[in-house]
Chain A
C-alpha cells in the first residue's frame, strides 16, 4: 500500500508547486485602482471597438502622440474584438465597469443611449468649434439614433457600400463599370463562365445579408425614406420587390451555389480568390481585395443611381467615439476625442484604414486622390444631390428583425421557396409595427 501510494507523490508534488506558483502569479496579476484627483496625473481607459492586427498599432501610435501632447493624461488601451463588442459593452453597462472613452458605431449606439450609458457631446463639440467640421450626413446619422436627437458620438469615419469589380475581367469582356442598375443586370450574365468556375456576381445570403439587400433596394428604387408619412414601411414598394426578384434570379445562374450561406468573410474570400467579377461590399474590404488581387486588378464604384434619377444612399453605421456617463475623467476623455478627430489625426487614421474621414478638413488631403474607392465614396456623400436614406437603427427591434428574423426568409427567397413579394410584405409589416411602437414610446 505504501509502495502504491508513492506512485503519485511525484505528480502531487509537482501539482502543489504548480498550484502555488499559479496562485502567486495570478494574484500578481490583480487589478489596481487609480485615483481621480484632477490635479494629479490622470489615466483614462479607452476601449477600441474593433481591436486587431490592423487597427491596434494605429491606435497605439495616436495614443503615443496624444500622451506626448498631454503629458498629464495616460491612455490605457484595450482592444475589444469587433464580433463581441456589443455584448462586452452591454455587460459592462449592466454590471458596472465601463471605460472612460470608447469606439462605437451607430449600429449599437441606440442601445447604449437607451441604457443612459453615454453623455451627449453637443455642447463640447460646439464649444470646440467642431460643428462645421463634421461631415453632415455622418453627424445626422448619429443624431437620428437617439430619441432626443443629441450627438452621443463624435464621428471619426464613415463607410459606404460599393460595387467592387475586377478591372481585368471587365476589360476582357469589353465592358465598362456599371453606371446604372440596368448595366449591372446586363453585365453580370456576360461576366459569368460557370464552366470555368467564374461568376459575374456573388450574393451575400448568410449573416449580414439583409442590411446589404436594403442598400441595394433603396439604391435601385430611389425611394428616399424607410417609412412614409403615415409610418408605413416602404420596404414592400413594387420597385424594391422588383430588385429582390432580380437579385434572386441571379442566384445559382450567375452566382456560386454556396452564396446562400455567404457572410462577408466567405463573400470577400470568394472575390479575392478570383472567381467573382463583381462583389457588393463596403470600403472595409479594400485592403483584403488589394492584397489578394493587386491594385491593378480591382476597383470600386458606388452603387448605381436609381432609374428615376434619384441618387439614394443607405449609409453604413458611422464609426466614432463616445464618453461613458460613469467616467470620472470626462474632460480628459474629451481631450482625447478632440485630439483624434482633429484634421491630422483623422487624416492619418482614415488613410490607413481606408475609410471616409469624418473631418471635412481632410477632404483636401492628397492621399485621397490616390485612393479611388474612398475618393469616389466621399464625393457621393458630399454631393448635394445624394439623398441619405437613414436606416432605422434607433428601433430596438431593428437588429433582431434584420439579423435573426428576415435572414432565413431571404435564404428561402434565394432557394425559390418564398416569393420576393411575401418576403417584402413580411419585412415591411415587422418594420411598420416596430416603428409604431417606437413612436408611441417616445411620444412622437
Chain B
C-alpha cells in the first residue's frame, strides 16, 4: 500500500503583496503622489527659473534666487540658527520625554490621569496666546535675543505631546524584561538603559523628529523673541520675501527649497522608524 501523498499547500502571496500590484490601488496612489508633488515641482521651477521667465520647465536654470536668499537675505545665518535651535530642542525634548514618559508609564501615583489629561489640554493652547507671558518670562531671565529662548519655548510646547507618545510606548514594553534585568543585579537606571532604551529607538525617532521639525518651522517665536538680524531663523527669512507691495516668488521658492531640504532629509532617514514609533505610542492611554 502506497503511502498517500499529502499535497503540500501552495504558499499564498500575502494580501498586501497582491494589493500592491492591483491597478485600482496603484492608480489612486500615483494620482495622490502626483497631487502631492506638483507644488514641490512648482517650487523647484520658480527657484531655478530666471526672473521674468514663464516657462513651466526651467530650461535655462539659474542660481540667482539662491544667491539672493543665501547672501542677500542672510539665509546662511538663519540656517545655522535654525539648525542649532532644532538640535537643541530635539535633545532637550527627548531627554525630558524619556524620563517623564518612563515615570508616567511605570509609576502609579496620585493624579497621574489628571496630569495626562492636562498634558493633552495643553495641545489646545495656541502659541500666540502664550506670546506675551513667555516674552515677559524671557525678558526677566534676560533671554530675549538669545536662541535659548526659542529652545525653551519650543520645548514648552512640544514636551506634552512627546510625553504622551513616549509614555504610551514605554507602557508597551513588558515590565518583565526590566524585572529580569533587576533579578540579574541591575539597578533601575541600569535596567532602563540596558533593556528599555534600545527598544525605544522608534519612539525616540518619532519624538525627536517632531521636536526638530516643529522647531525648524516655527515662525512666531523666532520673530517675537529675537530682535537682531543675526538671531532670526529660516521661517523669518522666508517671510522677508513677502513684502508689503510685492512678492519675490523666485527668492521665496529658493528659500523654500533651502528650508525643505533638512526636513526632507530627516524624514528620509527616519521614516522607517517613524510609523512604528507613532503607531506604538499614539494609541496607548
- A-facing residues in B15-73 (Cβ within 8 Å): 51-52, 54, 68-69, 72-73
Q: How far is the CA of A283 from the CA of B245 in the complex (A)?
A: 8
**B228 close to A (CB within 8 Å):** yes
Q: Which residues of the partner chain A approach B251 to less than 8 Å between Cβ atoms?
A: 53
- A-facing residues in B220-256 (Cβ within 8 Å): 223-224, 227-231, 236, 239-249, 251
Q: Which residues of the partner chain A approach B236 to less than 8 Å between Cβ atoms?
A: 81
Q: How far is the CA of A282 from the CA of B69 in the complex (A)?
A: 26
Q: How far is the CA of A282 from the CA of B248 in the complex (A)?
A: 17
B99: min CB distance to chain A, Å: 14
A22, A31, A284 pick with most chain B CB within 10 angstroms: A22
Q: How far is the CA of A30 from the CA of B229 in the complex (A)?
A: 13
Q: Which residues of the partner chain B approach A53 to less than 8 Å between Cβ atoms?
A: 68-69, 72-73, 240-241, 248, 251
Q: How far is the CA of A4 from the CA of B196 in the complex (A)?
A: 10
**B145 close to A (CB within 8 Å):** yes
Q: CB-defined interface of A1-37 with B at 8 Å, one 1/0 digit per residue? A: 1101101100000010011001101110111000000
Chain B contact residues, majority secondary structure: helix
Flag if A265 contacts B247 (CB, 8 Å). yes
| B54 and chain A: residue at smallest CB distance | A273
Q: Which residues of the partner chain B approach A207 to less than 8 Å between Cβ atoms?
A: none
Flag if B88 contacts A22 (CB, 8 Å). yes
| B89 and chain A: residue at smallest CB distance | A22
Of the stretches A93-101, A184-192, A324-332, the one at the interface is: A93-101
A23, A84, A95 pick with most chain B CB within 10 angstroms: A95
Q: Which residues of the partner chain A approach B246 to less than 8 Å between Cβ atoms?
A: 54, 268, 284-285, 287-288
- A-facing residues in B175-231 (Cβ within 8 Å): 181, 184, 186, 193-195, 197-198, 201, 219, 223-224, 227-231
Flag if A5 contacts B198 (CB, 8 Å). yes
Q: Which residues of the partner chain A approach B52 to less than 8 Å between Cβ atoms?
A: 291-292
Of the stretches A71-79, A399-407, A419-427, the one at the interface is: A71-79
Flag if A82 contacts B224 (CB, 8 Å). no
Flag if B87 contacts A94 (CB, 8 Å). no
Flag if B240 contacts A79 (CB, 8 Å). yes
B148, B151, B201 pick with most chain A CB within 10 angstroms: B148
**B264 close to A (CB within 8 Å):** no
Flag if B227 contacts A97 (CB, 8 Å). yes
The residue that B240 contacts in the complex, of A8, A51, A269, A274, with Cβ under 8 A, is: A51
Of the stretches B129-137, B155-163, B164-172, the one at the interface is: B129-137
Q: Which residues of the partner chain B approach A45 to less than 8 Å between Cβ atoms?
A: 227
Q: Which residues of the partner chain B approach A291 to less than 8 Å between Cβ atoms?
A: 51-52
Flag if B240 contacts A2 (CB, 8 Å). no
Flag if B242 contacts A81 (CB, 8 Å). yes
The residue that B147 contacts in the complex, of A26, A76, A92, A285, with Cβ under 8 A, is: A26
B238: min CB distance to chain A, Å: 9
**B122 close to A (CB within 8 Å):** no
Flag if B184 contacts A1 (CB, 8 Å). yes
Q: CB-defined interface of B258-281 with A at 8 Å, one 1/0 digit per residue? A: 000000000000000000000000
Flag if A4 contacts B198 (CB, 8 Å). yes
B45: min CB distance to chain A, Å: 14
Q: Which residues of the partner chain B approach A22 to less than 8 Å between Cβ atoms?
A: 84, 87-88, 91
Flag if B240 contacts A97 (CB, 8 Å). no
**A61 close to B (CB within 8 Å):** no
B55: min CB distance to chain A, Å: 13
| B148 and chain A: residue at smallest CB distance | A26
B256: min CB distance to chain A, Å: 14
When A18-B91, A22-B88, A97-B139 are in contact, do A77 and B229 touch as well, CB less than 8 Å? yes
**B144 close to A (CB within 8 Å):** yes
Q: How far is the CA of A264 from the CA of B147 in the complex (A)?
A: 34
Q: How far is the CA of A223 from the CA of B135 in the complex (A)?
A: 46
Q: How far is the CA of A96 from the CA of B227 in the complex (A)?
A: 12
Flag if A83 contacts B227 (CB, 8 Å). no
**B146 close to A (CB within 8 Å):** yes
Q: How far is the CA of A55 from the CA of B246 in the complex (A)?
A: 11
| A45 and chain B: residue at smallest CB distance | B227
The residue that A79 contacts in the complex, of B146, B184, B198, B229, with Cβ under 8 A, is: B229
| A284 and chain B: residue at smallest CB distance | B245
- B-facing residues in A244-276 (Cβ within 8 Å): 264-265, 268-269, 273-274
Q: How far is the CA of A282 from the CA of B246 in the complex (A)?
A: 11
B145, B184, B224, B246 pick with most chain A CB within 10 angstroms: B246
Can you list 24 A-B contacts (CB < 8 A)? Answer: A1-B186, A5-B198, A8-B197, A15-B91, A18-B91, A22-B87, A29-B147, A31-B146, A50-B243, A51-B240, A53-B251, A57-B72, A78-B227, A78-B228, A79-B229, A79-B240, A81-B236, A84-B239, A87-B224, A88-B223, A92-B227, A96-B139, A274-B54, A284-B245
9 A-B pairs with the lowest CB-CB distances in the bound complex, closest first? A284-B245, A95-B135, A31-B145, A81-B239, A82-B244, A5-B194, A22-B88, A4-B198, A52-B240
Given contacts A22-B88, A45-B227, A50-B243, could you give 12 more A-B pairs where the C-beta distance is less than 8 Å?
Answer: A29-B146, A52-B248, A53-B73, A54-B243, A77-B229, A78-B227, A88-B223, A88-B224, A92-B227, A95-B139, A97-B139, A97-B144
Interface residues of B (CB under 8 A from A): 51-52, 54, 68-69, 72-73, 81, 84-85, 87-88, 91, 94, 131-132, 135-136, 139, 142, 144-148, 151, 181, 184, 186, 193-195, 197-198, 201, 219, 223-224, 227-231, 236, 239-249, 251
